[in-house]
Structure 1
Amino acid sequence: MLTSEEWRAHDLVGLAARATSGQVSRREILQTAIREIEARNPAVNAVVVTRFEEALDALDDAATDRFAGMPYLIKDLHAPVRGLPLANGSVRFKDTVFDFDSTTVARLRAAGFGLLGRTASPEFGLSLATESVAWGITRNPWNPDHGAGGSSGGAGAAVASGMLPAAHATDSAGSIRIPAAFNGLVGLKPTRGLNAFGPHRGDPNNGMSHEHAVTRSVRDSAAILDITAGPDAGCPYFTPRPDMPFERLIETPPERLRIGFITTRFDGGPVHRESRAAAEMTAKLLSDLGHEVTEDRPDFDSNALTEAMIRLLIGSLAGMFAGMPADNDEDLHGFEPMTRAAIRFAQGTELGTHLARAAQINAHVRQLARYFEDYDILLTPAANGPAPLHGVLPMDHSDLDAFLDKLFEISPFTAPFNASGQPAIMLPVHRTADGLPVAVQLVGRFAEDGLVLRLAAQMERASDWQTIAPA
């Protein structure tokens, strides 16, 4: 097996290259990942379900597929894996097992990935803190007193701690990007419809839910997207992928771009000094790389957009729990108090109100989109500061309004682009004096994932990002 030092020196593409060249066997790579998970998971509690023996048994030692035997973990949310429990972060569903793979999982399996288990998610992905009754607290590898973000916090902690170079993640209001930012990783939310959601989901959460990965490198994100992108049978809509593979696209730096950036919230309010510093230093780097960089804030009502989209998102729970009474706690036995509050809100929402929110979102998104008539890319801080301490988003109370206010105080920059469906990526550009990662977000026009990835790769080549926390 590889030593821990050798293991931490390679991203996913690098490991695959070593296997292809015969420097290390694919079985050794999978066995090394298992060893690293077993060694590092007790400290961070990122991996909550394992299937090590099944993954090893499924590996064909003679396989020559590029990613055969490469380790991967699937988030415990919305992604069925044949024979593997899917709890959605809930005690109530811990024993739920599906007999099929989602489209994304099927494509990863067909590419040869060794599916080693699941990473932690808060209950139904409702929080930006991965803390649940079902799985406990997931800790940040850079400082265990701080959170790993959510709802893909398990994925973020697993990759940042060095267990493996990439992991599956999902994003409905920032759930790929916030864990990437808090754990010092690359986290792309692709354009709506670029990755398929079938066969069990068609238009998830009115198009606000997205699926991809957190990775150690931009090229890993591009390589995984090349495997998973594309429509599946029966999908209600899709975004075409470019003619050239994403992994090849990023080899060529982008032409001179018009980049707008902000160092405040969208409403002009201040942000944490470290987040502001990250945006400012990134704006300088982009200017030094030859791009036209202008400080300019988009003209749209971000608070109204966020309010409408999160209420529409939570309201969609009514469909998941249709027919389930929610009159008292006994009806909702097994769910956490905040989840109960969310279900009650959903079931109490009138149909007309729910549909009106979709119309409101459209109006605000149209206003936001005008910004991208003048700029190719928007640069924002990733969040309002580095990862907070544990317990700031408790699920053990039922004040939904206070919970959402705190959630968007922490993360004011992500949700608008779930509503718009645009590609957005987090990049680990900065660290605080005590070592916590601080990131920035790049946002592109709808369907211009290739351009976003090309710019991210150009920045990566010009930087010295550290994506694994000190052991």
Structure 2
Amino acid sequence: MRHHEYVRYDGIGLRDLIASGEVSAAEVAAAAKDAIVAANDRVNGMTQIFDTPLGSAPDGPLAGVPFLLKDFGPVADGVEFSIGSRALQGVKSPQDSELMTRFRAAGLAAFGVTTVPEMCISYATESVRYGITRNPWDLSRGVGGSSGGAAAMVAAGAVPIAHGSDGAGSLRIPASCCGLVGVKPSRGRVTGAPGSGDPGFGMTGEFAVTRTVRDAALLLDLVHGPGVGDKYTAPPPARPYLQELGASPKALRVGLSTTAWSGVAVDPEVAAETVRVAKVLSELGLQVEHASPEVSWADAFLGLKGQLAAVAEPWLTSPRPPQPDKLEAVSRAVLAWVRDLKVTDLLACLAAQHRVSRTVGAFFTDYDILVTPTLGQLPAPHGTFTYDNPSHTVDSWLTSIFDHGPFALVFNVTGHPAISLPLGQSADGLPIGVQLVAPYGREDLLFRVAAQLEDALPWRDRTPPFSG
């Protein structure tokens, strides 16, 4: 299978080629290995490339489809997860996560691990350990974070699907930066078992970035559902998500907002593309009007700090505490800040999460979909989110991140499902993602509307200059 042929297909397309006998799984694997090496040379999106892909079910629904794992974990038995840090070099997962078990059962063939910012706490995938991950649309621009390596490699043509996680936009924002589909499922839709029952105090969820809506829908069909003893369990879908593609969404009521809850200015190109998408939805028969939940940004920001405490806890309580000189400055600052938290501080963070959840939940009693930009700005140049400024505090550094991406965090706080779609482009050809959000547990509505937009505003033939 030639490289230019391999990169034309999404996951389902490759699956169908293998199933028909037109190509063999071995031929796809060889093409994938070459594509991964070539893409990594361009964008630096890998922490490791496996000599042999991790074993998967040969009769799975996505049997033989190439796939990548995120350096976040533990995920896969025996595979190093360093979370982008020199401090965790050599630490390996003691077992497969339940999600990894489902990836294997789906037939996905994992070829390696993708880059992340240290501790997965930045919108820039630029770690000291692995260096800068570059955007295949413009090598001088960032790929977002924390699933930045995953998005860079999918966009660069390495694989059609890559694992990621989303704690404050970490799937949707890289998808927006790299022109991909990024889904954050409802809280409890995808299990964190057995390692975590309440990831990030319910704010973090794992899933994937893809090139097409149908790949995202099928993959969620294959991996959703609770693990044993999960604290949160999302209501099961009425039918497979893949069946939502092609279903009419015309009776839905849609709210449109391009105003950030933090009050920060939104790039005019980003806002204009979001409004254009809303106009297309109206032309498709949906009832669209300007509306937004009245979110307290102070509460959303405070809620994030509870998640930071959950992220930091394993680093602070580990039998092998990280050596300070092997941590980046921002990681040292975050760990010091969390170490000084009082129980009452943490309870205030959790109470703020609940207030935001109530407000957004009330909005979705009147609306079926909310449309916003995914990011407030175009993909940022490298170095934008460094902690080198001596005047930076944890708060000021976080503010600089959320000034760039003010639309994603709220829905990690609330647990609502959200998807970023690559529906727009800037005058310079950079991707602009548009975010759709649905009521809790209603990924079916997201896929229904997303499929309509994929048909109306197709992106399949748009490819980055540094890919393929």
Q: Tell me, yes or no, whether TM beats 0.5.
A: yes
Pair 324,231 (structure 1): closer, same or farther in 2 beyond 3 Å: closer
| Deviation, structure 1 residue 395 | 4.2
- Distance (Å, rounded) in 2 between the aligned partners of 1:230 and 1:428: 27
CA displacement at 1:114 relative to structure 2: 0.9
Give per-residue Cα distances to partners, 1:322-341, cap 9 Å, x unaligned.
Answer: 4579xxx9952311110000
- Work out which of the residue numbers 362, 367, 383 in structure 2 matches 1:370: 362
SS in 2 for 1:299: coil
The alpha-carbon deviation at position 321 of structure 1 amounts to: 3.2
Would the alpha carbon gap of residues 413 and 54 (structure 1) be closer, same or farther in structure 2, given more than 3 Å must change?
Answer: closer
How far apart are 1:111 and its partner, in Å? 1.9
Q: CA RMSD in A?
A: 1.9
Partner letter of residue 278 of structure 1?
E
Aligned to 1:249: 244
Partner SS for 2:139: strand
Match of 1:306 among 288, 296, 300: 300
Q: Which runs of 5+ in 2 are unaligned?
A: none
In 2, distance between residues paired with 1:379 and 1:79? 34
Q: After TM superposition, give the deviation of residue 319 of structure 1 in Å.
A: 2.3
Shift of residue 417, structure 1, vs aligned partner: 0.2
Tell me how far 1:44 sits from its aligned partner: 0.2
Instruction: Tell me, yes or no, if the aligned pair for 1:27 and 1:59 is still in contact at 8 Å.
Output: no
Structure-1 residue corresponding to 2:393: 399
CA distance in 2: counterparts of 1:251 and 1:40, whole angstroms? 33
Instruction: Give the drift of 1:401.
Output: 2.0
Which residue is 1:449 aligned to? 443
Match of 2:94 in 1: 99
Q: Is the 8 A contact 1:170 1:176 kept in 2?
A: yes
Q: SS state of the match for residue 439, structure 1?
A: strand
From 352, 359, 384, give the equivalent of 2:351. Answer: 359
More displaced, 336-345 or 370-379?
Answer: 370-379
Of the candidates 159, 173, 176, which is equivalent to residue 178 of structure 1? Answer: 173
SS across alignment from 1:116 = strand
Counterparts of 1:343 and 1:96 in 2: how far apart (Å)? 19
Which range moved further: 101-110 or 235-244? 235-244
- SS of the equivalent of 1:379 reads strand
- 2:456 is aligned to 462
CA distance in 2, matches of 1:320, 1:149: 24
Deviation at 1:297, TM superposition (A): 2.7
1:336 alignment partner, one of 328, 332, 344:
328
Partner of 1:234: 229
Select which of 413, 427, 445 maps to 2:421: 427
> 1:73 matched to which residue of 2?
68
Tell me which of 145, 149, 166 is aligned to 2:161.
166
Contact 1:8 1:468 in 2 (8 A): no
1:381 corresponds to 2:380: no
Confirm whether residue 32 of structure 1 aligns to residue 27 of structure 2: no
Q: What's the TM-score, normalizing by structure 1?
A: 0.94
Instruction: Indicate which of 209, 215, 218 corresponds to 1:220.
Output: 215
SS in structure 2 of the partner of residue 235 of structure 1:
coil
- Contact 1:317–1:343 (CA under 8 A) maintained in structure 2: no
In structure 2, C-alpha distance between the alignment counterparts of 1:269 and 1:122, rounded to whole Å:
24
3-state SS, counterpart of residue 69 of structure 2:
strand
Q: Contact 1:148–1:154 at 8 Å: present in 2 too?
A: yes
Aligned residue type for 1:441: Q
Greater shift after overlay, 7-16 or 411-420? Answer: 7-16
Q: Which runs of 5+ in 1 are unaligned?
A: none
Look up the match of 1:208. 203
Q: CA deviation at 1:216?
A: 0.1
Q: Compared with structure 1, are the counterparts of its residues 125 and 369 closer, same or farther at alpha carbon in structure 2 (3 Å cutoff)?
A: same
Shift of 1:305: 2.4
Q: Distance in 2 between matches of 1:355 and 1:448?
A: 29
TM-score (norm 2): 0.95
C-alpha contact 1:44 1:144 (8 A) present in aligned 2: yes
> In structure 2, the residue corresponding to 1:144 is in which secondary structure?
coil
CA distance in 2, matches of 1:50, 1:266: 41
Q: CA deviation at 1:296?
A: 1.6
- TM-superposed deviation, 1:357: 1.4
Letter in 1 for 2:218: A
Aligned residues: 463
1:408 to 2:407 alignment:
no
Partner SS, residue 202 of structure 2: coil
Equivalent-residue separation in structure 1 for 2:464 and 2:307 (angstroms): 33
What is the distance in 2 between the residues matched to 1:237 and 1:385? 33
Range with greater deviation from structure 2 (331-340 or 129-138): 331-340
- Check whether the contact 1:74–1:117 (CA below 8 A) recurs between aligned residues: yes
Paired amino acid for 1:65: G
